Amino acid sequence: MVNSSSDFANVYAKFQAPISRRYDCGTKCAPLNNGIPVCCDYERTVPVADEGEWELLKSRTDLWSVYTPKGKTEEKEFSGLADGCQSIVCKGAKLCERDNRTIACRAFPFFPYFTVEKELFGLGYYWGFEGLCWVISNLTIVEKPFVDEMIAASEYLFARDADELATYITFSATMRGVFTKWNRKIPLLGRDGQLYWVLPNSGGKIVPATTAEFETKLAPFGKAQKEAA
């Protein structure tokens, strides 16, 4: 089973909370990225929509169009997409339509993080954007309604799409492997609203973190960082 366009419409209706009502994070990262918010810059990341999501978007807006891969690397990358999935680009940040953002737009920089026991614990982030995405360096600004809505959206979609579920279970394991290689702790936002670390080389052990630790030990904004935290 996969998610239909009406399933995605349900998720769009319920996944609306901003990461933070206090900060417009695009004003933080865009000045260091030629004036374009990093997650809206298709030179850096291209959203991929499932078949049902793409059907929904085409039915409600002309904001999006099919993205044509550039060069052999991208052709290879996008040729591996699951059946019906489509890489797409919007008209740009100045023409953004809030109600017609993809799930990927709404969730960025986060993905649903699964424990070794395959339980949906909370939110991890796309570590390739450390130093570029201001939110990743300031995780304490993320508000609980955002976490709640993203978890609910993820559970709704996973209940109907086992492949999507498997993708994020695998991706969480990949994150543990990468951070273990770097000998770094993974910062996590728990679905309970608390802060956590996943310890490296621990079989995925999760321990509580403090706000003070998250305010001082996250990857700094403005420069790539892979050293031990």
**133 touching ligand SF4, by CB under 6 A:** yes
**18 touching ligand SF4, by CB under 6 A:** no
Binding region for ligand SF4 (CB under 6 A) out of 23-31, 111-119, 188-196, 204-212: 23-31
Return phi, psi of residue 224, to 5°: -65, 145
**29 touching ligand SF4, by CB under 6 A:** yes
Closest CA to 167 of 82, 56, 53: 82
Q: What contacts 212, CB < 8 A, 6 or more positions away?
A: none
Q: How many residues bind ligand SF4 (CB under 6 A)?
A: 18
Closer residue to ligand SF4, CB minimum distance, 38 or 56: 38
Closer residue to ligand SF4, CB minimum distance, 100 or 202: 100
Binding region for ligand SF4 (CB under 6 A) out of 67-75, 132-140, 170-178, 182-190: 132-140
Binding region for ligand SF4 (CB under 6 A) out of 31-39, 145-153, 157-165, 173-181: 31-39
**173 touching ligand SF4, by CB under 6 A:** no
Among 87, 101, 188, 191, which residue sits at the site for ligand SF4 (rule: CB under 6 A)?
Answer: 101
- Nearest-approach distance from CB 124 to ligand SF4, in angstroms: 14
Contact 48, 87 (CB under 8 A): yes
Binding mask 55-84 for ligand SF4 (x = CB under 6 A): ------------------------------
**111 touching ligand SF4, by CB under 6 A:** no
Within the chain, where are the H helices?
5-14, 26-29, 51-60, 71-79, 103-107, 144-160, 162-182, 211-216
**17 touching ligand SF4, by CB under 6 A:** no
From its phi and psi, is residue 183 left (phi > 0), alpha (psi between -120 and 50) or beta?
left
Name residue 120's beta-bridge partners.
Answer: 114
* CA triple 86-123-20, angle to 5 deg: 90
Among 26, 46, 143, 225, which residue sits at the site for ligand SF4 (rule: CB under 6 A)?
Answer: 26
Closest CA to 65 of 42, 82, 31, 89: 89
Give the DSSP H/E element, type plus range, for residue 138: none
| Sheet of strand 86-89, all strands in order from the earlier edge strand to the far edge | 48-49, 86-89, 65-66
Residues binding ligand SF4 (CB under 6 A): 25-26, 28-29, 37-40, 90, 93, 96, 101, 105, 108-109, 133-135
